[in-house]
């Protein structure tokens, strides 16, 4: 049985929790409430043993102790400076999550998983539009999956950012790769944003469904079975990962590598995938395994959280760069935007 959704024109973020409040309920890209009929059942039989696509890539790590907090940005925020000139860490940071834009296999309605497929022209446009929406929000470090569709999305989005820092992919897959991609200017480094690719943020590995057409698979195995493979929490598709298995590596990576960045005062963007992000949102919003079933993410719509005092506060999707409400979220964001305006004028 399908969940009944109250979709927006472009709904990005659907959850059946009724106690979630959003800064943006009306514009495109806002999240909405989904009503899930009681007893929406999941067949608990194990269909196949999943095998993770882990280990094919080496993850890069940006250490929290390297350069501290967004205040290392030449744009100095008044709230982050004290009189002696030394810097205090910001106590609220932005976390932007973005699912990649439409891929060539999204367009063809094929199960994609860990197959490394690029964006369509529409996906490119979505990524650029997403970039416009977050163009006034600070970004100090970007995490992407190891897959090109997420990396393209992050890079294209950053072409729109008003701060004009250069996103640079960190190559730490070997000692040589690390050495050969060194930057020897501190000034140039300051004008860069590290982009950390991590296989742990990859799409859920779809096993033997990868490359199959979703409609044809539903016709063959039945709609209910395919919905169970696609949206149940703990039932993997044949030889693939369940959402639970995907969450084990994606959420562990988030806790070990991304949270320390936020805690150190950095503003973070994550460009990843429908299911790796669903598992991270499950953690951020403390959704239950029943609640996450109805969480759907659209391609190329950024979602903003504020990380404050160890808590994640969901702020919905910034609808447009000119939307004043976005910057009223926090003093840090308002100040950052003001500084950007001053730089331009």
Ligand X SMILES: O=C(O)[C@@H](CO)OP(=O)(O)O
303 annotated binding-site participant: no
The span from the CA of 179 to the CA of 72, in Å, is 24
- If binding is defined by CB under 6 A, does position 112 make contact with ligand X? yes
The span from the CA of 30 to the CA of 32, in Å, is 7
For the segment 215-244, give every residue that binds ligand X (CB under 6 A).
230
Q: Which of 203, 228, 241, 244 binds ligand X (CB under 6 A)?
A: 203
CB of 111 to ligand X, least distance (A): 4
Q: How many helices (H) and strands (E) does the chain have?
A: 12, 11
> CB of 291 within 8 A of CB of 233?
no
Q: Which of 12, 70, 93, 106 binds ligand X (CB under 6 A)?
A: 106
Pick the catalytic residue: 14, 16, 100, 273? 100
3-state SS class at 158: helix
- If binding is defined by CB under 6 A, does position 100 make contact with ligand X? no
204 annotated binding-site participant: yes
**Stretch of 17-25, 107-115, 119-127, 152-160 contacting ligand X, by CB under 6 A:** 107-115
3-state SS class at 127: helix
The span from the CA of 325 to the CA of 37, in Å, is 34
217 annotated binding-site participant: no
Specify the residue, 81 or 215, whose C-beta has the smaller distance to ligand X. Answer: 215
- Among residues 140, 153, 156, 195, the alpha carbon closest in space to that of 307 is found at 140
Is 100 catalytic? The answer is: yes
For the segment 261-320, give every residue that binds ligand X (CB under 6 A).
274-275
1 annotated binding-site participant: no
CB of 147 to ligand X, least distance (A): 10
Specify the residue, 237 or 318, whose C-beta has the smaller distance to ligand X. Answer: 237
Total residues belonging to the chain: 345
> CB of 61 within 8 A of CB of 257?
yes
- If binding is defined by CB under 6 A, does position 111 make contact with ligand X? yes
CB of 241 to ligand X, least distance (A): 11
Residue 139, H or E segment: none
> CB of 137 within 8 A of CB of 94?
yes
**Stretch of 15-23, 84-92, 110-118, 283-291 contacting ligand X, by CB under 6 A:** 110-118
Specify the residue, 268 or 272, whose C-beta has the smaller distance to ligand X. Answer: 272
CB of 101 to ligand X, least distance (A): 12
3-state SS class at 21: coil
91 annotated binding-site participant: no
Beta bridge partners of 312: 307
- Among residues 134, 148, 77, 150, the alpha carbon closest in space to that of 268 is found at 134
Total chain residues near ligand X (CB under 6 A): 9
**How far from chain centre, in Å, is Cα 341?**
27
Burial class of residue 86 (count of CB atoms within 10 Å of its CB; 0-12, 13-18, 19+): exposed
**Stretch of 106-114, 130-138, 165-173, 287-295 contacting ligand X, by CB under 6 A:** 106-114
Measured distance between the N- and C-terminal CA atoms of the chain, rounded to whole angstroms:
55
**Stretch of 77-85, 86-94, 105-113, 121-129 contacting ligand X, by CB under 6 A:** 105-113
**Stretch of 19-27, 108-116, 249-257, 328-336 contacting ligand X, by CB under 6 A:** 108-116
Q: Which of 101, 113, 197, 300 binds ligand X (CB under 6 A)?
A: 113
Own/partner long-range contacts of 102-105 (Cβ < 8 Å, ≥24 apart): 102/126, 102/299, 102/300, 103/149, 103/299
Pick the catalytic residue: 92, 129, 203, 296? 203
214 annotated binding-site participant: yes
Catalytic residue positions, numbered = 100, 203
| Interacting residue ranges for ligand X, rule: CB under 6 A | 106, 111-113, 203, 206, 230, 274-275
- Numbered residues of the known binding site for substrate: 99-106, 112-113, 149, 203-206, 214, 230-231, 274-275
């Amino acid at each position: 049985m399908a969940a009944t959704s109250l979709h927006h024109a472009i709904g990005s973020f659907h959850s059946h929790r009724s106690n979630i409040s959003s800064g943006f309920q009306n514009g495109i890209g806002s999240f909405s409430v989904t009503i899930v009929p009681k007893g929406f059942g999941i067949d608990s039989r194990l269909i196949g043993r999943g095998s993770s696509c882990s280990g094919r890539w080496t993850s890069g790590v940006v250490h929290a102790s390297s350069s501290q907090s967004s205040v290392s940005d030449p744009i100095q925020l008044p709230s982050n400076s004290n009189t002696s000139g030394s810097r205090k860490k910001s106590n609220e940071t932005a976390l932007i999550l973005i699912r990649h834009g439409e891929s060539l296999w999204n367009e063809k309605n094929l199960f994609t998983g860990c197959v490394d497929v690029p964006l369509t022209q529409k996906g490119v446009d979505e990524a650029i539009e997403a970039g416009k929406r977050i163009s006034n929000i600070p970004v100090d470090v970007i995490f992407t999956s190891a897959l090109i569709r997420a990396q393209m999305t992050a890079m294209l989005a950053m072409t729109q950012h008003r701060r004009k820092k250069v996103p640079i992919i960190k190559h730490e897959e070997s000692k040589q790769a690390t050495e050969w991609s060194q930057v020897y200017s501190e000034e140039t480094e300051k004008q860069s944003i590290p982009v950390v690719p991590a296989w742990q943020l990859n799409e859920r590995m779809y096993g033997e469904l990868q490359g199959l057409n979703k409609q044809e698979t539903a016709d063959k195995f039945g709609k209910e079975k395919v919905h169970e493979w696609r949206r149940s929490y703990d039932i993997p598709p044949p030889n693939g990962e369940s959402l639970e298995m995907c969450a084990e590596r994606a959420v562990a990576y988030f806790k070990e590598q991304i949270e320390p960045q936020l805690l150190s005062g950095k503003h973070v963007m994550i460009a990843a995938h429908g299911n790796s992000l669903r598992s991270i949102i499950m953690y951020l919003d403390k959704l239950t395994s029943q609640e996450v079933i109805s969480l759907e993410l659209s391609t190329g719509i950024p979602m903003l959280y504020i990380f404050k005092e160890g808590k994640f506060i969901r702020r919905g999707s910034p609808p447009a760069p000119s939307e004043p409400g976005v910057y009223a979220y926090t003093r840090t964001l308002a100040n950052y935007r003001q500084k950007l305006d001053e730089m331009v004028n």
